[in-house]
Each structure stands twice: as structure tokens, then as C-alpha cells.
Amino acid sequence: MKKRVEAALDKIRPMLQADGGDVELVEITDDGVVKVRLQGACSGCPMSQMTLKNGIERMVLKEIPEVKRVESV
């Protein structure tokens, strides 16, 4: 599943990098929670939670239905 999550993150990564940010996969738990770390401009951005839920989580859930949610750590 890690490769599938990385592939989904790679699809949204160019949009994050265009704004000076990035996302790193930290962990995938046994119960289907993907933990990521926002980096660069995304780490301190007040819109980061919206980016996480409406961008990253939406893409990951669309690509990998087994994932329950995406959290930032």
C-alpha cells in the first residue's frame, strides 16, 4: 500500500511545490490512517488544514479506498 500512497501523493506534489511546499509520507497505520508531514511553505500556512483535507486526503482516498483518513503529524 505504501507505493500506492506515494503514487497518489506524487500526483498532488507538483501543486504543493509550486507554492513552495511539499508533503512527506510518515506512516501508514494498520487501521488505514495515512500520516503525512507538510513541509516548506505548507508547514506554517494557515490554509494547511484545508490543503490537507481538500487536496491531499481527497486524492489519497480517491486512489486508495482502503485508506480511512489522512492526518498531519
pLDDT by position in tens, the chain (length 73): 999 999 999 999 999 999 899 999 999 999 999 999 999 998 888 889 999 999 999 999 999 999 999 999 9
Decide: 69 and 10 in contact? Cβ < 8 Å.
Answer: no
As given in the structure block, the three cell numbers for residue 12 are 498532488
Q: Residue 15 sits in which domain range?
A: 2-72
At residue 34, the pLDDT reads: 97
| Domain count across the chain | 1
Decide: 28 and 2 in contact? Cβ < 8 Å.
Answer: yes
Strand segments, DSSP code E, in 1-73 are 21-28, 33-40, 69-72
At residue 44, the pLDDT reads: 82
Give the CATH number of the domain where residue 17 resides. Answer: 3.30.300.130
Q: In what order do the strands lie in the sheet with 33-40?
A: 21-28, 33-40, 69-72
